[in-house]
Structure 1
Amino acid sequence: MDYRELDTPALIIDEEKLLENICFMQSYADKNHVNLRPHTKTHKMPYLAKLQEEYGAKGIAVAKVGEAEVMADNGLKDIFIANEIVGGAKLKRIRELAKAVDISFGVDSIPQVSMVEEVFEGADKKAQVLIEIEVGENRSGVIKEEDFINLVNHIKKCRNVHLKGIFSHDGHSYGADNVEHCKELFDESQKRTLFFAKLAEELGCKLETVSIGSTPSSMFDFDIMKGITELRVGTYILMDASQGNAIGTYDRCAATVLTTVISRPTEERVITDVGAKGITMQTRNKGICATKGLGVIKGYKDAYIHSVFDEHAIIYNKELRDKIKIGDKLEIIPNHICPVCNLYDKAYLVSHDKVIKEIPILCRGKLT
């Protein structure tokens, strides 16, 4: 069927753009002689994760234990949880996963590692951990050199924990002023990550993995420095309005939300049938990824969602209002695709305007 015949709201994925994006990032990683480990929290679909591996990715990243469990149940065997996992319940689930798949996860403190050591007592395999390095995003991760040294030395004393590597996320690149500034942030993040990698080796730990990544800094063919072993990026596969703004075009945006016009109450206002529960209320407010409004209307210049209610999108654009009628369908390029995917049970894969596959979003709602 023609995808415009679908009931709405519906999450649409353009197959040609999807494959172009997968090949683009795989080529970038291959050119720089690093492994590509896509962060699948973007799409939450085992089908797409397997596709990324088929095109050359070495395993996947996830954000939650629940996502790891779903991916493992669907045949993904090399999984990194790029997050600090704390608490006995979650750690026991990782211990169980480790029986069947290659699973690793993030740490950044001695108390956390002590929990891991306790839970993995008597396990057939040691817990595989990577220390997160804070590189400028002001989120989690080790900041002080002294704390890193103490953490590494603590792990070395553990019977049940193996230090596999380190990782960082230059998420502050989303707010870079321009491409040159993005490169500066990327280079600074790499240097800081490599500094701690060298420090770990000086402490007697040969690291298997030195992992970096964020989509904005991976779109401009910046050089990846020697010593980095892995590129860990997510949004690139589907892209969104913020990433489109960064690269100057929406042509690479593979995902849209199909929505129906349900009201035209004024000469400028248009209402469609998707709201905060279908596109989120997220924005990017500065830098190369800055967005206007809550989502771009595909095919219309300067048309975007001004505001949303739970189930209504509000658009003010006279040109668009004059061209459409009640019952017409529009496509929205979301500002941030990652939370949008988590709002739908399935996505429709489309090729040349025809629906060719329904893809279940099996990791939807896996928040623990």
Structure 2
Amino acid sequence: MKMTELDTPSLLIDREIMMDNIRRMQLYADQYDVHLRPHTKTHKMPALAKLQEDAGAKGITVAKVGEAEVMAENGLNDIFIANEIVGEVKLNRVKKLAETINISFGVDSIEQCEMIEDVFSDSHKPAQVLIEIEVGENRSGVIEESDYIRLVDYIKNCSHVKLKGIFSHDGHTYKAKDLEDCRRLYNEAQKRTLRFAQLAEEQGCKLETVSIGSTPPLLHDFGVMEGITELRVGTYILMDVSQGNAIGSYSTCAASVLTTVISKPTNERVITDVGAKGLTMQTRSEGICATTGIGYIKNSDQVHIDQLFDEHAIIYNEEFRNQIAIGEKLEIIPNHICPVCNLYDYAYLVSEGEVVEEISILGRGKLQ
């Protein structure tokens, strides 16, 4: 069917744009002779993860154990959980996955590793862990070198925990004031990550993996420093308004939400049938990824969603209101695609306006 025949709201993915995005990032990783391990929390679809691996990705990244389980059930067998996994229930689930696939996950404290050592004490395979390094985002990860050295030394003496590597996330680059600031933050994050890799080596631990990643710097050719072994990047496959703003174009935005105009109650107000439950209310307030409104009307002259209710999107634009009719369908490019994918059961792969495949979002709601 034609995509305009779909009921709304519907999540659309332009096949050609998506495949171009997949190939472009893989070529970037290949150029610098590093592995690409895409973060699939962006799309939560095993079918898309397989396309990324088919293009050359070494494995995939997920954010939650539930996402790892879904991906493993659907044939993905090299998975890194880029998060601290804490608690007996979750660690036992990881231990079960480790029986059949290559799986690793993040740590940043001795207390966490004590739990892992205990849970994996009866496993024939040690838990594979990567230490997270805090590089400026002010989130999780080791900050002080002294704490890091103590953690490395503790893991060295564990019988059931193996230190595979380290990882960092330079998410603060989203707030870079311009591209030069983005380059600076990215390079500082790389240098800090490599410093911690050196510290591990000084403690007698040669790391297999030194992993970095966030989308904004990797949309530009800022390079990859020697010693980095892996790029862990997610949003690039579908892109969104914030990432489009980082490169000054929405031409690589593969995902959009199809919505129907249901009301034009005033001379300037337009109402469509997707609200916060299908678009989220996320915005970005500063830097190269700063957004206007709560979503961009695709192929419009800077028309944005001004307001969202649970089931309604509101646009205030008299000129736009006079150009469209009730019943007409619009495409909205979301500000942040990752949480949007988590709101739908299916995505529709489209090519030149035709629906070519319905893809189940099997990782939807896998938050545990």
Question: What's the counterpart of residue 223 of structure 1?
Answer: 223
- Is 1:56 the counterpart of 2:56? The answer is yes
Question: What's the counterpart of residue 300 of structure 2?
Answer: 300
Question: What's the counterpart of residue 166 of structure 1?
Answer: 166
Instruction: Calculate the aligned-residue CA RMSD, in Å.
Output: 0.4
Q: Give the gaps of 5 or more residues in structure 2.
A: none
Question: What's the counterpart of residue 339 of structure 1?
Answer: 339
Report the AA paired with residue 198 of structure 1. Q
Q: Number of matched residues?
A: 368
Distance 1:40 1:251 in 2: 21
Distance 1:242 1:318 in 2: 25
Report the AA paired with residue 87 of structure 2. G
Report the AA paired with residue 171 of structure 1. G
Distance 2:172 2:318 in 1: 36
Question: What's the counterpart of residue 27 of structure 1?
Answer: 27
Question: What's the counterpart of residue 209 of structure 1?
Answer: 209
Q: Give runs of ≥4 in structure 1 deviating > 4 Å.
A: none
Distance 2:33 2:188 in 1: 20
> How far apart are residue 275 of structure 1 and its match?
0.3
Question: What's the counterpart of residue 361 of structure 1?
Answer: 361
Secondary structure (helix, strand or coil) at the match of 1:305 reads coil
Report the AA paired with residue 31 of structure 1. Q
Distance 1:80 1:297 in 2: 35
User: Residues 55-134 of structure 1 correspond to what in structure 2 (within 5 A)?
Assistant: 55-134=55-134
> How far apart are residue 317 of structure 1 and its match?
1.1
Question: What's the counterpart of residue 311 of structure 1?
Answer: 311
Distance 1:118 1:349 in 2: 45
Report the AA paired with residue 9 of structure 1. P
> How far apart are residue 124 of structure 1 and its match?
1.0
Deviation string for 1:195-246 (max 9, x for gaps)? 0000000001110000000000100111100000000000000000000011
> How far apart are residue 300 of structure 1 and its match?
1.2
> How far apart are residue 45 of structure 1 and its match?
0.1
Question: What's the counterpart of residue 250 of structure 2?
Answer: 250
Distance 1:104 1:307 in 2: 41
> How far apart are residue 302 of structure 1 and its match?
1.9
Secondary structure (helix, strand or coil) at the match of 2:11 reads strand
Distance 1:318 1:62 in 2: 43
Distance 1:279 1:254 in 2: 15
User: Residues 31-46 of structure 1 correspond to what in structure 2 (within 5 A)?
Assistant: 31-46=31-46
> How far apart are residue 122 of structure 1 and its match?
1.6
Question: What's the counterpart of residue 155 of structure 2?
Answer: 155
Question: What's the counterpart of residue 194 of structure 2?
Answer: 194
Report the AA paired with residue 312 of structure 2. H
Distance 1:147 1:4 in 2: 56
User: Residues 227-306 of structure 1 correspond to what in structure 2 (within 5 A)?
Assistant: 227-306=227-306
TM-score (norm 2): 1.00
Report the AA paired with residue 169 of structure 1. H
Report the AA paired with residue 245 of structure 1. N
Secondary structure (helix, strand or coil) at the match of 2:68 reads helix
Deviation string for 1:302-349 (max 9, x for gaps)? 210111000000001112100111100000000000000000000000
> How far apart are residue 353 of structure 1 and its match?
0.7
TM-score (norm 1): 1.00
User: Residues 178-193 of structure 1 correspond to what in structure 2 (within 5 A)?
Assistant: 178-193=178-193
Distance 1:299 1:18 in 2: 18
Q: Give the gaps of 5 or more residues in structure 1.
A: none
> How far apart are residue 141 of structure 1 and its match?
0.1
Report the AA paired with residue 354 of structure 1. E
